[in-house]
Amino acid sequence: MLHSQRRSPIFLAGSFFAAILERLTARLSKFTALRRWTGENPAARLEQQIAERTRDLEAAQRRLTQLDRLSAVMNRAADYAEVLKGVADEVTAPAVGVWLLLVDAEPYAAKTALLAAARSPGQDVMPANRQIPAFVFPLPDEPLRVITDVERQPDTPLTAFCREAGLRAVASAGLFAGSRTLGALVFTGETPLEFSASDLETLRIGAQVAVVAIERLQAVESVRSRILAGVSHDLRAPLNIMLNYTEFVAQGMMGEVNDSQREALNKALEGGQRLLDMINDVVDAARIESGMLRLVIEDDIDLYAEMAEVKRMALALLHGKPVRYFEDIDPHLPRIVGDRRRIRQILHALVANAARLTESGSVTVSIKLRAAELLFAVIDTGPGIPVEDQDRLFALFVPTDASEARVGRRAGQAMRLPIAHHLVRAHGGQLWLHSEPHREPEHGAAFFFTLPVRSPALLRQMQETPVRQAF
């Protein structure tokens, strides 16, 4: 007899409720575990997640707004000082200084950079022209380099440089255009400083947008330099013809001239020569900016012969003034390696600058042998140079009140000191000045520069290019 396999309704109901109970128990277990993990109920956790997400979105919105502001500033920037000012205006901490460093592309200074602009706490952005070691730069793909207190760091070239520069805190971001290093954007502190997250984010964003502005400015500089060089070359040719024929007439080669005519012609020659000098300065400045200025190296330059010409020029400029000219030159100076014409140009620029500005007192030129280099000094008793203008004095195309007062009240003179500064560095030397008119009003200014006696780099350049066009 077959028994029925059907189960009673009570049994089925019990199995159903048992399954429901098992599921409820599992869910209760998960809920209890969730509460133990969050320490709060799920609704509070969800509310916290929403708040965090809201804060993230607000922070992203602030970054986008800041990026938009910085991009607008960089698009309008006409020089490196404006690039830096755009970043500096975004910094929230008043104790933070800002530096913009640009790699020097010249082959003789490939491992240095120029401090293109800087802002100290409480001061406006000031252009600068100071060499900075390349190890200050972060490397490609390196995160922000942050030092909150230099004195707590191990001794390294970077910390040694920071101490020498009077810095206790540094945060830097590299400026890279593809594989090319442009420089670095650096936040500085003169005391130990914890850079805020906001300022570090400004540093990161500022470095990104500054790259575009710097590339644009460098392209503009290149075009400007080529235009200036071309126009200057076109001006020199007819001017030289005018000067030559005027000199022929003044010398009587084209007929007899009387004294008053000769005097008038000589004044025309002097004015034309000054104009030619100005054009030559523009050409040099354009070639410096475009990296096209080259040296013609010789290995037997006689400084005594060069100084005889410098002395004649100085005495002519000082004629009629109550100013005495002195020389303090070591005997038996060695013949040096360098570009003869450019070394004479350096000496002419510094001595002419001193002679034109000194109305009474003295102008002294000194040359001393110091081991493997020569130390030159040009010291005057002129008006001196304010400390705040001294860095800008060597910057091309940066007008300052001091540059007009210091290098003479004649147009074109303002470029000669920057050109001399560049030429000294091209020889592997350094040029600097000392002047404190507020403390030493009677001492004027002292310009110093060094030149190596026999630079291995210049000798190597001479051997590699034995015949070069003189620029």
Q: Summarize pLDDT for 188-200 with one digit per residue, the tens.
A: 888 898 888 888 8
d(CA 173, CA 169): 14
When pLDDT is cut at 50, 70 and 90, the band that residue 365 belongs to is very high
When pLDDT is cut at 50, 70 and 90, the band that residue 451 belongs to is very high
247-268 average pLDDT score: 86
**Architecture of the domain made up of 294-464:** 2-Layer Sandwich (3.30)
Whether pLDDT at 363 is above 70: yes
**Strand ranges, E, within 237-360:** 298-301, 323-329, 336-338
Tokens read off for 283: 């050409």
- Residue 355 makes CB contacts below 8 A (sequence gap 6+) with 314, 317, 318, 323, 325, 363, 380
Q: Do domains 80-221 and 294-464 have the same CATH topology?
A: no
367-393 average pLDDT score: 86
The SS3 call for residue 109 is helix
d(CA 138, CA 145): 7
The pLDDT tens digits of the residues spanning 64-119 come to 777 778 788 788 787 777 887 888 888 877 778 888 887 765 433 333 445 555 66
Which region among 283-292, 301-310, 372-381, 429-438 has the lowest average model confidence (pLDDT)? 283-292
Q: β-strand 361-370 against 373-380: which pairing, if any?
A: antiparallel
Of 136 and 431, the structure prediction assigns the larger pLDDT to 431
* Cα distances (angstroms) measured from residue 345 to each of 193, 299, 306: 46, 17, 10
Q: Output the pLDDT for position 159.
A: 85
Q: β-strand 361-370 against 323-329: which pairing, if any?
A: parallel
When pLDDT is cut at 50, 70 and 90, the band that residue 201 belongs to is confident
d(CA 196, CA 72): 24
Tokens read off for 276: 């030619």
Whether pLDDT at 330 is above 90: yes
- Residue 139 makes CB contacts below 8 A (sequence gap 6+) with 174
Q: Output the pLDDT for position 34.
A: 53
Of 336 and 160, the structure prediction assigns the larger pLDDT to 336
The pLDDT tens digits of the residues spanning 262-303 come to 888 888 888 888 788 888 887 777 777 666 677 888 989 999
Whether pLDDT at 146 is above 70: yes
What residue ranges do the domains of the chain occupy? 16-76, 80-221, 294-464
Of 281 and 171, the structure prediction assigns the larger pLDDT to 171
Q: Which amino acid is at 344?
A: R
- Residue 242 makes CB contacts below 8 A (sequence gap 6+) with 272
Place of tokens 């030092």: 147
- Residue 435 makes CB contacts below 8 A (sequence gap 6+) with 384, 385, 387, 390, 443, 444, 445, 446
d(CA 84, CA 458): 35
Phi/psi for 233 (5° steps) reads -65, -40
Of 453 and 405, the structure prediction assigns the larger pLDDT to 453
The pLDDT tens digits of the residues spanning 30-58 come to 556 555 555 556 667 777 777 777 777 77
State pTM to two decimals: 0.58
Q: Which of 235-239, 441-445, 451-455 has the highest mean pLDDT?
A: 451-455
383-394 average pLDDT score: 77
- Residue 138 makes CB contacts below 8 A (sequence gap 6+) with 144, 145, 172, 173, 174, 184
59 CB neighbour count, 10 Å cutoff:
13
- SS3 readout for 9-38: HHHHHHHHHHHHHHHHHHHHHHHHHHHHHH
Which region among 29-38, 53-62, 203-212, 339-348 has the lowest average model confidence (pLDDT)? 29-38
Which region among 149-163, 283-297, 416-430, 447-461 has the lowest average model confidence (pLDDT)? 283-297
233-244 average pLDDT score: 83
d(CA 170, CA 133): 15
Of 145 and 143, the structure prediction assigns the larger pLDDT to 145
d(CA 329, CA 347): 14
When pLDDT is cut at 50, 70 and 90, the band that residue 135 belongs to is low
- Mean pLDDT of all residues in the chain? 77
**Architecture of the domain made up of 80-221:** 2-Layer Sandwich (3.30)
Which region among 113-127, 244-258, 301-315, 438-452 has the lowest average model confidence (pLDDT)? 113-127
Q: What percent of the chain has a predicted confidence (pLDDT) above 70?
A: 75
When pLDDT is cut at 50, 70 and 90, the band that residue 24 belongs to is low
The pLDDT tens digits of the residues spanning 403-431 come to 444 444 333 456 888 889 889 988 989 89
Whether pLDDT at 469 is above 50: no
Which region among 29-38, 163-172, 343-352 has the lowest average model confidence (pLDDT)? 29-38
- SS3 readout for 334-376: CCEEECHHHHHHHHHHHHHHHHHHCCCEEEEEEEEEECCEEEE
Q: Which residues pair with 211 in a beta bridge?
A: none
Among the listed residues 336, 329, 409, the one whose alpha carbon sits nearest the alpha carbon of residue 364: 329
Q: Output the pLDDT for position 408.
A: 42
